[in-house]
Structure 1
Amino acid sequence: MKNITPAFDSNLLSASAEEKIDYFKNKIVRHPHLEQSYNLARECIEFSEKGEIVWIVGPVGVGTSQIGRKLWSDSRHSASELDDGEISASTSPCIAVTAPDHSDRIDTKYWTRLLGDILRAHGDILIDRKIYAPPNQFTLTHPIPYVDPRNRDFDALKYAVINMMQHRRTKLLLINQADRLLPESHPGGCLRSLQILRDLAAQTDARIVLIGSYQLAHSACTRNNWLRRQQTVHLRRYDHTNPQEFKSYALALINLLAEMPIENRLEALSVEAAKDLCISTVGCVGTLKRALTQAFQHALRTGEKMTEDFILQFAPYNKVALEIAEDTKRGERLFLDVSLDEVRDVLNATTAEPTRGIRNGPGKPIPKIATGSPGGINQRRIGERNSSRDPSGGAHGSQHP
């Protein structure tokens, strides 16, 4: 049993319910996985080569969006003026957008919507309402190319986005829910998205950061191992079977409970209740925060006491948790490593002796690699690992796949 000491200002107890809820919603609790992944994301952004894309992936509700918000908050600053002859425009070092939803198809119309969102988020809020004037009757003095809203095709918008990002010296483009760009049901759309993203990254000085669930990782890995050739940040869940990870999760839970400004608060937390919450939220602190927020709101409205059983009522349904757990385990397999012995087996493999009737030489069949004999290639599915390796969710931090 762990006692919970209030960490909020006692004056909040006399505040309105809306003020209490806003306080708790805006409270961010730091925990090891979040801090490690954020620091790795900053390093990937800083040291990635031009044209590379940074991926931030993890299970649903683990907190990838929180990393995106922190990157945006830390990267933006007050607008400053840059003088370039008679032209002055404010800089925009960071821009964040959410990929729009789609109907299982990623075509140029979809990317037209997304590019328009980027232009609007960049400050060009009237992109759909500008008055058209023929070039021979109007002298354009703004350095960002004008896009006719009546004839704004994909190529024009793409050029406008590239030019705007260059002119405003954008260093970071964050795209949340980026798994929408790579639907498994539309392979052609996935390839189109990857090519457009690569073009945007290569033609600007900005680093593009894609933020999404394991669906993003799965789609990217099946497209010619695209994900493995880029900078990747894997924000993992907490594994309740690992004592150190469960301790970190429980500490985050206690810190959140300590920030609830309510009279009938929970004063102590048992290990059993913490483990039940860890399992029902699949070890994801973001999902935990949503469950605690719902419990807090309900307790404020009804006046009920915050007990362990009361809080557990607002955890995800077991069926929902099961679906998330299954998706999480499939996603984690994408990031499993293999033993060094497997690499050694491949490098030490020798070709078999030529069989009768097969000759070596230019244009002749090549002998097959021996796979069944000792020293041959140890064939294994991509993502599988030796049983001697540590299980997923072990002590390793965020890593590149």
Structure 2
Amino acid sequence: MDKGFPKDILFQTMEERIKYFENKTIAHPMLVNSYKDLMDKIDVAVKGKVLLVYGPSGVGKTTLFLKVRDQFFKKYYNDMIQDKGIIPVLSVETFAPEDGKFDWIDFYSEALRNLEEILIDEKRLPLSDMGVTLPIKPNEKTKRKLRKSLENAIKYRKVKVILIDEAQHMTKVGSAKGLRNHMDAIKSLASKFGVPIILFGTYELLSLRNINGQLGRRTRDIHFPRYNSEFPKEIEAFKNVLWVFQKHIPLQDEPDLLSDWKYFYKHTVGCVGTLRDWLYDTYHYSMKLNEKTKTLTLTDFKKFEPTIDQAYTMAEEITKGEKHLLAKREEKADKLDSWLKLDQVDEKEDKKRMTNKRPGERKPMRDRTGTDLFR
């Protein structure tokens, strides 16, 4: 039977075999489509744009995050060779706030560390920023110092794109006003830095979308969905992912995962990232227990399966996010038709008027549209 992994991998050390499977990713349809959509939108993203990449927890957004990061490093590899100071990608992972409120000081500090900035705790505000009449709280002053330092670091490191993983933590603010302030801050950073900012997160990121019209113009969406069992093509795609994984587990005898695809789907709710972690944990443990393990059975996978309670919680969060996304779109589309009076347009009469026109004949009230702009 043909194996997906290199033939000589079985003769390598246990650590090398484990490492091989740990690094294995599959270019499955949802990942590929999301990657292409994101890269297309990055290419046309102008100064001040914020891109939101959202989807279920465990769908594989971190894999997408790393793929985009690596692509930018490859793209600017020659520039980095010529100028050792260039860091084309600033990638930051945010963490859940301990007090329930996102901490910008921690974010700025982590970003500066990732840009290899030194003496972060010794930063000072420039004199032009100190001539304020109102007293500044120590916390606010530190925030300003770090933000100014980050602006300078991004400029001198010639950063091309900023990637923020687990960005749903940035929505932890405690109030609607605080949420608007946070999105204003993100938008301001994108505009000030002059590079796109890409936020990767769960459906909680939806709370940042379209807070107001001005912010809505500056954001672009990329939805990274799970494989939904309601659609036969997506089930077939999930089964194919499972089959490819089973071909790449470095074992003498290939395990049969495909026969139990419903079991794997049920416990992952169609999320490939969760599936990948589960398969890796099972393989890693089995090899550590006995490096001469020939194959894996369903019993082995049950030891590390996401529990039914965990799967239920994931499914609940996912369906809520999916319904919120779809329902809001449909609801807003209907309201927009009403506000613009499109629901009152007599389509039959409109079509009748159009058929009475000769080909190429222009409507009389359209002649002056935009003419002043080109004089």
TM bucket (normalised to shorter chain) is 0.7 to 0.9
The whole-number CA distance in structure 2 between the counterparts of 1:97 and 1:345 is 42
Q: What is the number of equivalent residue pairs in this alignment?
A: 321
Match of 2:270 in 1: 283
Show the 5 A alignment for 1:122-161. 122-128=115-121, 153-161=142-150
Could you state the TM-score of these two structures normalised by the residue count of structure 1?
0.72
**Residues 272-309 of structure 1: per-residue CA shift (max 9 Å, x gap):** x1122112101000000011011212322344641234
Could you say what secondary structure the match of 1:191 adopts?
helix
Percent identity of equivalent pairs: 26
Deviations 1:326-363 (A, max 9, x none): 0001111232142977755552567xxxxxxxxxxxxx
Which residue of 1 is the match for residue 88 of structure 2?
Answer: 93
In the alignment, the residues of structure 2 paired with residue 152 and residue 124 of structure 1 have an alpha-carbon distance, to the nearest angstrom, of 19
What residue number does 1:43 align with? 40
In structure 2, do the counterparts of structure 1 residues 90 and 326 end up closer, same or farther at CA, with 3 Å as the change threshold?
same
Residue 104 of structure 1 contacts residue 183 of structure 1 at CA under 8 Å; is this kept in 2?
Answer: no
Separation of aligned partners in 1, 2:256 and 2:343: 62
Shift of 1:264: 4.2
2:105 is matched with 112
Secondary structure at the residue paired with 1:27? Answer: coil
Give the structure 1 partner of residue 306 of structure 2. Answer: 316
Q: Does structure 1 residue 102 correspond to structure 2 residue 91?
A: no
Distance 1:344 1:126, change over 3 A: closer
Structure 1 stretches of 5 or more lacking a match?
Answer: 83-88, 136-149, 351-401
CA positional deviation for 1:236: 0.3
| Structure 1 residue 90: Cα displacement | 1.8
Post-superposition offset of 1:164:
2.1
Question: One-letter code of the match for 2:12?
Answer: A
Per the alignment, do residues 291 and 195 of structure 1 end up closer, same or farther by CA in structure 2, a change over 3 Å counting? same
Please point out which of 327, 330, 333 is paired with 2:323: 333
Q: Does structure 2 conserve the Cα–Cα contact (< 8 Å) formed by 1:170 and 1:205?
A: no
In 2: Cα distance, 1:349 partner to 1:151 partner: 50
Decide whether the 8 Å contact of 2:255 with 2:297 is kept in 1.
yes
What residue number does 1:55 align with? 52
In the alignment, is the contact (CA less than 8 A) between 2:242 and 2:257 conserved in 1?
A: no
* Residue 252 in structure 1 maps to residue 244 in structure 2: no
Quote the residue 1:231 is aligned against: 220
- Aligned mates of 1:5, 1:225 — CA distance in 2: 55
Q: Which has the higher helix share?
A: 2
Shift of 1:194: 1.3
Contact 1:93 1:170 (C-alpha < 8 Å) held by counterparts: yes
Contact 1:62 1:236 in 2 (8 A): yes
The Cα of 1:314 is off from its aligned counterpart by 2.7
Q: What secondary structure does 2:229 align onto?
A: coil
Runs of 4+ aligned structure 1 residues displaced above 6 Å come to 339-342
* C-alpha distance in 1 between matches for 2:257 and 2:69: 36
TM-score by structure 2 length? 0.77
Give a deviation string over 1:93-137, Cα, whole Å, max 9, x none. 111011133134436xx212211111111121442368x9x99xx
Q: Aligned in 2, Cα 1:331/1:222: closer, same or farther, shift over 3 Å? A: farther
User: Given that residues 246 and 257 in structure 2 are in contact (C-alpha distance below 8 angstroms), is that contact kept between their aligned partners in structure 1?
Assistant: no
The answer to whether the 8 A contact 2:14-2:287 is kept is: yes
C-alpha distance in 2 between matches for 1:151 and 1:241: 50
3-state SS in 1 of match to 2:108: helix
Asked whether the equivalents of residues 106 and 193 of structure 1 are also in contact (C-alpha less than 8 Å), the reply is no
Flag structure 2 segments of 5+ consecutive residues without an equivalent. Answer: 128-138, 345-375
Q: Secondary structure at the match of 2:120?
A: coil
Distance across 1 between alignment mates of 2:336 and 2:16: 57
Q: Is the 8 A contact 1:5 1:267 kept in 2?
A: no
Which amino acid in the other structure matches residue 305 of structure 2? A
